Structure 1
Amino acid sequence: MLNQIVDELKASDSFLHLLGSTLVLFIAILIVRSLLRRYIRNSIQSADLRRRWLIQLRNALVLVLLFGLVMIWGNELRTFALSLVAIAVALVIATKELIICISGSLIKSGARSFNLGDRIQVKDFRGDVIDQNLLTTTLLEVGPGKTINQRSGRMVVVPNSIFVSEPVVNESYSRNFVLHAFTVPFKREENWKLAQQALLSAAQKQCEDYLPLVRKHFDKLSYRTGLESPSVEPRVSIQVPVAGEIHLVVRVPTHEDQRNIIEQAILNDTFSNNIF
C-alpha cells in the first residue's frame, strides 16, 4: 500500500511539472508576441509590410508553441500513442483534409509561389492575397473572369489543399511593374487598322512618363533570374480567333496596382476620338 501511494505521488509530481512547463511556455510566447508586435508597429511605417510581418510573426509563434508542446509532452504522447494505435489511424483518416492543407502550405512556402499582396490565380479563384496560415489562404477576389482587373468586393477563403494538385499563376511576379495585356475585338469589315494605330498611340501616351523606369526594373529582374529581359514597349498584336473577326491584343507596361486604370484610360482615349 505504501509503495502504491509513493508511486501515485511521483506520478502526480511529474504531471504537475509538465503542467508548470506548459504554463511557462504559454506565458513566454505571450510576452514575446506582445514585445515583437509592439516593435513591428512602432518601427515599420508601411501598412502592407507591417501587416505582412504581423502575420508571419503569428504563424512563427504558433509553430514554436506546437514544437514546445511536443518537446514537453513527448514521452507522455509516445506512451499514449502506443496504446491507441487504432485510434491514431482513425484520426489520420478523419483528418486527411487537414493534413493535405498543411502539406499544401508547406509546398507553397517551399516553392515561394507567392507572398502577401500578390495577385494570383489558382483553379477558378483569382484575387489579391491578404492572409495565409497553415490551413487556408484568403483572397480579395478580382474579376469576374481572367481579363477583369478590378475587385469584386468579395473575399475568398481557399483551403491550402488546392496547392497540392493545382498550378498557381502569380500575376505579380515582377513586383512593381507588370506587362498588362487586354483584347479589343473587331469585325473583319470594320476599320481595325485605324484602331490598331489609335490603340498603340494611346498606349504609348499613357506609359511614356515611366517607361525608362520599367526598362530598368525588368533589366534588374532579368539579371537576378538569369532570363532574357523582355521588350517593354507598348505593342498591339493581331489575332484571328474565328473567321470574320479581328482581335487586337494590346500589351502595355504599367504599375502593378494600376492595370485597370491604364486599360480604361487607353480605351477611353481611343474610342472617344475615333469612329471605326
Structure 2
Amino acid sequence: MFEGLSGFREQLAISETMLTLLIETSILIVVIGVVKAITSRFIKKKVHSRELQRRWLVQTRNAFILLLMLGLIFIWGEALRTFALSVVAIAVAFVVATKELIVCVTGSIIKTGAGSFNIGDRIQVKDFRGDVIDQNILATTILEVGPGKLTHQRTGRMTVIPNSLFVSEPVINESYTHDFVLHVFTVPFKREEDWRLAQDEFLKSAQKQCKPYLKEARKHMEQLSQEKGLDVPTAEPRVTVQVSAAGEIHLIVRVPVKATQRSFIEQSILSDVFSHNDFFNKKEEEV
C-alpha cells in the first residue's frame, strides 16, 4: 500500500514539473509573439523606405526566433540533461538524418559571418541570380533576374536557395557598392562596320544619361573607398574595345548607375545610339 502511495507521489511530482515547464514555455511564446507584433507594427509605421522596412522586418523576425530558441533551451535544459545519457544513440541517428539541415545552418553562419550580402542585394550562386528578399537560418529567397547573367530584368519567378550552397559555392554580390554600381554591358560589331563612330556615340550617350547623378556617384565611390580601404574604380563612363574573335569588335560600355536603374540606363543608351546612327560602312554599301 505504502509502495503504491510512493509511486503515486513520484508520478505526481513528475507531472507537476512537466506542467510547470509547459506553462513557462507557453508564457515565453506569448510574450515573444506580442513583442514581435508590436515591433513589426512600429517598423511599418516609422520606416517609410520599402527596402529598409523589409530588411528590418526580416532581421527582427530572425532575432525573435533566436531569442525563442535560447529561451526554450533555458527552460528545458535541465529536463533534457536528465535524458542525455539515454538518447546518445538517438542523437547520432538524428544527426545523420538531419545532415542537410545542419549544413544549411552552417551555411547561414558562414554567409552571416562573412557579410556576403544583405536584403536587397543582387547576388549570384551557381546558376541562381536575383535580388535577395528574405533569408533565415535554412534558406535564402531571391527574386530571379535574367534571363542569363547579362540582363537585369526580373523574370517574375521566386527562387528559394538552401543555405547549404554557401558552404561549397562562391557568392557573387553585384550590389557591393550599394546605392551606385558600375554597370557593364557589351555591344558587338563586325570588323568592317564603323565601330569607331559607335565608340564615340556610346561614350557621348553614356555621359548624357549619367550627367544628372554623376557627381553624387563620384562622392559615393570616394566614401566607399575610404570606408573599405579599397581602390574603387573611377565613376566616369567608359567605352573600351575588346577583340573576342576574328572579324568581331566588342565595345565594352561601363557606366555608373543607381542600383535600381541598371536595366533602364542600359536600354536608354542603346535606344539613344541606335535610333540616331547607322554604323554600316558606306564604302562597303557602294561596292
Which residue identity is paired with 2:266? E
Q: Provide the C-alpha distance between the structure 1 equivalents of 2:187 and 2:165, rounded to a whole number of angstroms.
A: 33
Q: Is contact 1:141–1:153 with CA below 8 Å preserved after alignment?
A: yes
Out of 170, 173, 176, the position equivalent to 2:173 is 170
In 2, Cα distance between the equivalents of 1:228 and 1:209? 24
1:202-221 alignment runs, 5 A limit: 202-221=205-224
1:230 and 2:233 equivalent?
A: yes
Alpha-carbon distance in structure 1 between the residues aligned to 2:42 and 2:269: 44
Q: Distance in 2 between matches of 1:56 and 1:209?
A: 34
Counterpart residue number, 1:200: 203
Code of the aligned partner of 1:120: I
| Per-residue deviation, 1:79 | 2.5
| Residue 108 (structure 1) aligned to one of 104, 107, 111 | 111
Given candidates 253, 258, 263, the residue that maps to 1:255 is: 258
Q: How does 1:53-202 map to 2 (within 5 A)?
A: 53-202=56-205
**Alignment deviations for residues 156-181 of structure 1 (CA, whole Å, 9 cap, x no partner):** 11101111111111111111111100
TM-score of the two chains, using structure 2 as the length reference: 0.93
Provide the alpha-carbon RMSD of the alignment. Answer: 1.1
- The count of residues paired between Structure 1 and Structure 2 equals 276
Tell me the residue number matched to 2:278: 275
Q: Which moved more, 1:249-258 or 1:223-232?
A: 223-232
State the AA in 2 paired with 1:187: K
Which amino acid in 1 is paired with 2:103?
I
**Which residue number in structure 1 is paired with residue 29 of structure 2?**
26
- The AA in structure 1 aligned to 2:189 is F
- Tell me the SS of whatever aligns to 1:35: helix
Query: Aligned partners of 1:231 and 1:37: how far apart in 2?
Result: 40
Cα drift, residue 6 of structure 1: 2.2
Q: Which runs of 5+ in 1 are unaligned?
A: none
**Long gaps (5+) in structure 2:** 280-287
Assess if the C-alpha contact under 8 Å between 1:199 and 1:250 holds in 2.
yes
Q: Deviations over 1:61-88 (max 9, x none)?
A: 1111111111111122222232121121
Residue identity over aligned pairs, in percent, reads 60
- Of residues 243, 251, 266, the one that matches 2:246 is 243
Partners of 2:37 and 2:270 in 1: CA distance:
50
- The answer to whether residue 15 in structure 2 is matched with residue 49 in structure 1 is no
Match of 2:19 among 8, 16, 19: 16
Does the 8 Å contact 1:131/1:137 carry over to 2? yes
Moved more, 227-236 or 261-270: 227-236
The residue matched to 1:54 in structure 2 has which SS? helix
Q: Post-superposition shift, 1:4? A: 2.0
1 CA distance for matches of 2:142 and 2:29?
Answer: 31
CA distance in 2 between partners of 1:85 and 1:33 (Å): 36
Letter in 2 for 1:209: P
Q: How far apart are the structure 2 equivalents of 1:183 and 1:47?
A: 32
Contact 1:81 1:88 in 2 (8 A): no
How far apart are the structure 1 equivalents of 2:212 and 2:48? 28
Per-residue CA deviation, residues 134-163 of structure 1 (Å, 9 max, x unaligned), is: 111111100111100111111111101111
Q: Which moved more, 1:45-54 or 1:191-200?
A: 45-54
SS in 1 for 2:260: helix
